[in-house]
Structures are given as structure tokens and as C-alpha cells.
Structure 1
Amino acid sequence: MKIVYFSPVSINSYEQRPHFFVSELLKYNHEVLWVEPYPTRLPELKDLNIQRKSEVSLMAGLDKVLIEKPHALPIEPLSMFDFLNDILWERTLTSIRNFDPDLIIAGKPSKLANKVAKSFSDIRLIFDYMDDFSDFYTGVSKSSMKYQLDNILNNADMVIASSDTLFNKVDRNKLNTIKVLNGYKSDTLPDAETQQVTDDFRFVYIGSIANWFCWESIRTICELYPSSIIDIIGPCHSSIPTDLPENINFYGEMKREDAIQIALKAKVGLIPFKINSLTEAVDPIKYYEYRSLSLPVVSSKFGEMKLHAKHDRGLSIYNDVSDIRIALDKAIDYGFDDKVRTAEFRNNCSWSNRFNKRCLDSILVGRENDQN
């Protein structure tokens, strides 16, 4: 089958859900045309402070993917200028026509994705619903993205929801919908029970720092455990408070292998997110990363974490900073998972299990099958 995949991230970015979804499709000899993302919001002043990310090596197994990079001006929310991007998109539309697809999968709503879906209305459209995308934006950009999201939901033949919140937002009376949670590249991790013994009591956070990151939680942990060290690893997309305690290490973005080595020194993995409409739709990959490293996890009570906590004793959640001490003590008392439990968790959350043949068959032929 020939599949056009509109990705929300670049193929040369850090490996995420789209990379693994497409990788699994390739294992069953499907051909994929990967359409790179383009700006779907208006420029903002903060963009001037964002450092250009260096491209990473292409993920193993994706070398057979055809790549299309649409040209676009950052004016998508301004409908009066649609004709400009329409001209620029002619090359992409020609590439898709020449590819002659059997299926279209959209990993992010956009005018281009909706335009292609309308132009190829006789082809099934699948929407991989990973985020409430409009919540990332403000003003006219937010309204524009909300419109594109509604449009793609109205036109989709099937929706793949990455969280329970997104699953429940879909009108399942009209749409065939399945839930496929996020996963993790757990097959390349060090053996379980490889935590490094250190004299320091360490917490770790791996992931982006953006406006959903709760600095109040970090401050509270530092106050409760003043002799501990909090290692924060990942790119920063928002300002960092200047009055933070001194027992915080900022590493910035680094190779996955190096981040894992730092995480193996920690006693607890942290997910200190604000609780809002954006995080309510999230199933964070870092949860699977921490637990695949045998780490207990402390998380704020958002999104899919509320459901994970019902069946994972190694996850402790808190409503606000006033009860974070209880969650921390519970996680510390729990300790590390043994080798058997870690191996079981790794297998369950692996991307090859998330997008297994049964799941892919249900997507490609349009048969409903909840993968929860």
C-alpha cells in the first residue's frame, strides 16, 4: 500500500511517535511519502530567541521513505493570503499525484493536509490524533488551528487517538476510532537493574521545558529535599526563572544515550506539568522512558497519568504542590522495579507492540479495534 504521511515533526528530528509509526508500516512493505511540517501559525517575537535545532541522523529503517518538503510562508492563519501558499504547494501536490497514494495519514491538522484530503476525496483519510494542537497557539493562530482540526476530524474516515481524553473527544457515532497510546524505544535500553550507585540523592526530568512545565513543583521538591540534586535534561522553549535553588543541574538537549546514563543515577523520574487543557490530552512518552529504566515516577495529575496510576504502583501522582511530599515519599518507598517487571513493562510499551500487525491491519482496512 502507498501511504502519504503528514508528519507534525521533521524526519530528521529526535525520534518520536511518527517515526516509529512509519517504521512499523515499512516493516510490512508499505511505501511511505513523508510530508515534512511547515509553519501553521504566525511568527512571534519569541521565535527570535529559539536556537535552530541541529538535525539528527535519520532513524535506522527510514532510509526507504520518500520525503517531500513543502514550501510555505508563515501566514496560514491569514486566509486572505491563501493564494500565496497555494502557489508554493503546487510542487507538493504534483509529488503526491505522482506517488499515486492508496491512503492518507495526517499526524497534524493543516491547510495543506486538508487540501490534499479534499483533492483525493476518494482515498481514505486517517487522523493520528496526538495532541489538542490548537492549545499550543494563541490568538488568530489558535482559531485557525482549531478550524483545521475540526475540518480534518469531519473529513477523516478513521481516528487514532493517543490518549483517553482525545479518544473521548471524537464523535464515535460518526467516526471509526481506536486508541493507541504512546510508547517508547525500549528494545535498545541497557539491561534492567543497571542503576548506578551514587552518594547523591537525585531526581531526573527528561523532556522539553515549555510553558506547561511547573517550576513551582521543582522549587517545592528542592525545599523538601535540600540536599538532593535535580537533573533537568532537554531543550528549553520558554524562559527559566532566575531565582531557582542551586541544587538544579541544567543539561540542555543531549543524545538519548547520554540522557539515559544520567537517568540511571536517579532515584525518581519527574513529570511536573501544569494541569490545563493542553496537558489534559497528553500521554507523555517520558513516563514510559522512566518506567522502562525501572524508575518510580512522580507526576502531576494530568491527562493519561490519572489512568496509568490506577494500575501502576510505581507511579505516584499529586493534585498540587501541597501534596507533592506524599507522592515523593510513596515513590521513594516503592524503589526500583525488579528485572522481571521491567522487562514486562518494556515489552508492553514498545512501539512494535503499540503498532503491531493487528493494530496496523485495523488501521489500514478501517476495522475498529481499541488498542488500549
Structure 2
Amino acid sequence: MNKKILYLMHVDWGWIKQRPHFIAEKLDKKYDVKIFYMVSRNRKVMTDNKSSVDTFPIITLPFKKIKLFYLLNLIIQRCLFYLIINLQRPEIIWITHPLMIDYIPRKYLSKYKIVYDCMDDILGFENSQEMKKSLERNERLLFKKAEIVFVSSEHLCGEIIKRGCDHSKTVIVRNGYNGELITTYRDEKRNNKESFKIAYIGTISSWIDFDLILYSLNQLDNIEYHFYGPIDSKVPNHEKILFHGSIKHSELYETIKDCDCLIMPFKINNLILSVDPVKLNEYINFNKNIITVFYPEIDRFRHFVHFYNDKEEYIEIVRKLQKDNTISYSNEDRENFLLENNWDKRMKVIFNTLDNIQTEKE
């Protein structure tokens, strides 16, 4: 009989596909997984992530910043999950964010095996002091109650150990590439192109270095930027910075195949230092030149990307690619890297770990 997993997901199933989506779909191939996801009220940025997995929305009350509504919502969700857990009787409760632990009745945190998938440094996000205190409190509880803490990067693993997570509970599972290898063409001749198109794919938030983008537009001729993904922060208004919204994951390559290069222009802070970006795996599959800010966690991508440390190095790289856009890596290297870093490889570690939990329990 397949092991039952109750999977609590803090992002909407219709959000641009991320680590929680990929892991949930892979878990479902081996186990009996029921996925409960937080519903976003901003439906305009959602995509249609069709899947065969069993997904159920968690619909919360509005005005949760008002204490009365917050407490009422908490009571409702705990009652609902009390019923859900008693009906499903899962062996494992999988949690993707510290705030989700509030929905689990406290007595069940000891009765069932808890798995925490720590994908980001949650204390690195911009939040109110009150929210940070709640996150810290819930994170400590998760560290204490979790049987296993999967962590997406080495830097993040070090950070949570500093904050009290038992090292013996941690298992590093980096982000991977999902999907088939794309058959691409290499259009490296630029003579007939009017502009050099630079694209970014992913959530557009406060970590995007728009100062760098605007500076480059002042310094370079014939470039334009195309951003694909949901927007959740203020963005500049510029005729050469175009925002296209969220794109279905299956349609990403067709959307960006005519772009000249792909970028990851992050601002370096505590949050970013812990990020193992899914997008770099996707970018490599698209067979484009890639420009990204350097930080130690992504040094392993060195063979496939152009690193910059400041705005002048960024300008220099773009100028070079405008003159010669020959891809910096071979197709063979691309295929070998993706095969060694896909989600099937990552899931072997997760499956082995979960099977050991089962053995210990039995």
C-alpha cells in the first residue's frame, strides 16, 4: 500500500511553477499524495498548471492582518485540517512554509511524521516585525517537530543550523530541471536584428536590480528587456522594459526562443545568498547565453553563464554578446548537465530519505 502524504503548499497551484510544484508531482508518482495549496486572490497572474495530482484549495478569510479575522481564520483552518487528517490518516505531513504549521492541530505534530521542505531563507523576505516574529516562532517549532528538513542550498543549510535546526535532520536537495531536453536552434548571427533582446523569466519582485537595468539602457544602444512572470513589487516605466505577465511552463521556450540572452539580475542580500535558482537550469535548457550576478552558491554554473560583480562588468558582457553571441557552452555539455541535475535525480535522495522514515516507523 502506498504511503500517504498530506502536502501543505504555501503557493497557489496556478503560480509560476516552482520547487513545491515539481516535488509534489514527483512524490505523487510513488506515494498517495493529497496537495492542499494556498489560494491567491490575485488571479490575473495565475497560469493553468494542468496536472494529474490531487489538488485542493485552501481558501482563507480576507483581512487577515486584522487580529479578529486572523484568529477566526486560524480556528477554521485547524478544524478543517483536523477533519482532513482524520479522514486521510497520512504517514507524513509535508510542509513547505513555517506559516502552514499553524493549520495543523498541535497534537498531530507529534503523532505524525513531519517533513519540512525549506526552499528559501524565509527571514530574508521583507516583512513587518510582527510577521518576522511569527515566522521565527513557527520556524523554531518546525525545526523541533520535523523528522527531516530538506534544504535547497548549502548556504541555507548553514543559516538554519545557526538558528537552531539539528544538523542531523538536514538533507540538502538542490533545485533541479524539470521536463524533457528541448531541441533548440542556435541563432548566433546578429546582423539582421534591429535590437538585442534580453529576457528574464520568474517572479518580478524587490530582488530584481532595476537600477542596473536602467543604467544599462543609458549606456548601451539597441537593447530591450522582456520580463516574463508575475509582478509583486513596484517596477519602472520604460519603453524598453516590457512586462508580459505569467506564461505557461510548457510555453516558455516558444515564448523566448527569439531572445538573444537570458539574465538573472538579482540584488545580493541574505535572501539571495541562500537561493539555488531553478531558473538557471531552465535557462541552460533553452540554449541561450546567460548573464547572472555572482554569488558563491551558484559557482557550480560557471561553465554555463557569464558572471558579473558590478554594473560595469555587466555592461562589458552585454557589449561582448552584442558583437558575438556564440553560446559559451556546447550542446553535449548542456545535455549532460541537465541529465545530472534533473528532478528525477533529486527525487532519488528524497525517496530514499522517506523510505528510511517508513522503515524506522515500522
Same fold by TM-score greater than 0.5: yes
For 1:59 and 1:213, how far apart are their aligned partners in 2?
Answer: 29
Q: Which position in structure 2 is the counterpart of 1:36?
A: 37
Per-residue CA deviations over 1:94-134 (Å, capped at 9, x if unaligned) read 11111001011111112645744642413221110011223
Equivalent in the alignment of 1:343:
335
User: Is 2:177 the counterpart of 1:184?
Assistant: yes
Once the 2 structures are TM-superposed, how far is the Cα of residue 68 of structure 1 from its aligned partner?
A: 5.6
8 Å contact 2:205–2:233 — kept in the other structure?
yes
The amino acid of 1:15's aligned partner reads K
What is the rounded CA distance, in whole Å, between the counterparts of 1:97 and 1:217 in structure 2? 52
Q: Is the 8 A contact 1:234 1:253 kept in 2?
A: yes
CA RMSD of aligned residues (A): 3.0
Give yes or no for contact 1:213–1:273 (8 Å, CA) kept in 2.
yes
Say whether the 8 Å CA contact 2:81–2:103 is kept in structure 1.
no
Instruction: Give 3-state SS (helix, strand or coil) of 1:222's partner.
Output: helix
Deviations 1:202-228 (A, max 9, x none): 211111211111111112332343112
Cross-structure match for 2:93: 104
1:362 maps to what in 2? 353
- Indicate yes or no: 2:294 matched with 1:301: yes
AA aligned opposite 1:361? N
The count of residues paired between Structure 1 and Structure 2 equals: 347
Report the residue type matching 1:156 in the other structure.
A
| 1:67-109 Cα shifts (integer Å, max 9, x gaps) | 3625455537959963652244312211111100101111111
1:201–1:266 Cα contact (<8 Å) kept: yes
Q: Which string of whole-angstrom CA distances, capped at 9 and with x for unpartnered residues, describes residues 172-225 of structure 1?
A: 6554211111123231x5303355866132211111211111111112332343
TM-score (norm 2): 0.84
Q: Residue 211 of structure 1 corresponds to which residue in structure 2?
A: 206
Aligned twin of 2:48: 57
1:225 aligns with one of 220, 225, 232: 220
Aligned to 1:43: none
Identity %: 22
2:196 maps to 1:201 = yes
Answer yes or no: is the 8 Å Cα contact 2:8–2:96 preserved in 1.
yes
C-alpha spacing 1:148/1:330, structure 2 compared with 1 (3 Å): farther
SS at match of 1:185: coil
1:6-54 deviations in Å (ceiling 9; x for gaps): 11212333332112212111212x1112122269xxxxxxxxxx84336
Partner of 2:149: 159
Does residue 1:268 correspond to 2:265, yes or no? no
Retained in 2: the 8 A contact 1:114–1:151?
Answer: no
Query: 2 CA distance for matches of 1:276 and 1:79?
Result: 35
State how far apart, in whole Å, the 2-side matches of 1:109 and 1:88 are: 15
Aligned mates of 1:190, 1:7 — CA distance in 2: 29
Cα distance 1:179–1:335, how it changes in 2: closer, same or farther (>3 A)?
Answer: farther
1:216 maps to a residue whose letter is D
1:18 aligns with 20
Moved more, 312-321 or 158-167: 312-321
Once the 2 structures are TM-superposed, how far is the Cα of residue 272 of structure 1 from its aligned partner?
0.7
Classify 1:92/1:103 alpha carbon distance in 2 versus 1 (closer, same or farther; 3 Å).
same
Distance 1:83 1:262 in 2: 43
1:298 alignment partner, SS class: strand
Task: Find the residue that maps to 1:167 and give its secondary structure.
Answer: helix
Alpha-carbon offset, residue 170 of structure 1: 3.2
Partner residue in 1 for 2:82: 93
Letter in 1 for 2:185: E
Q: Which residue of 2 aligns with 1:44?
A: none
The TM-score with structure 1 as length reference comes to 0.82
CA distance in 1, matches of 2:335, 2:354: 28
Unaligned runs of 5+ residues in structure 2 are none
Which deviates further from its counterpart, 255-264 or 146-155?
255-264
CA offsets, 1:270-303, max 9 Å, x none? 111111122222122221111111222211234x
Distance in 1 between the 2:43 and 2:334 partners?
A: 36
- Matched residue SS, 1:110: helix
Distance 1:259 1:33, change over 3 A: closer
1:227–1:247: 8 Å Cα contact kept in structure 2? no
- Within 5 A, what are the aligned runs for 1:131-142? 131-136=120-125, 137-142=127-132
Higher share of residues assigned helix: 2
1:72 touches 1:85 (CA, 8 Å); kept in 2? no
1:300 & 1:195 partners in 2: Cα distance? 24
CA contact (8 A) 1:103 1:124 kept: yes
Bigger Cα displacement from structure 2, 78-87 vs 340-349: 78-87
Q: Structure 1 residues 315, 77: closer, same or farther in 2, change over 3 A?
A: farther
- Of 262, 272, 281, 1:279 maps to 272
Gaps of 5+ in 1: 40-49, 368-372
8 Å contact from structure 1 (residues 229, 247) kept in 2? yes
Residues 60 and 73, structure 2, Cα contact 8 Å, conserved in 1: no
- CA shift in 2, pair 1:75/1:278, >3 Å: same
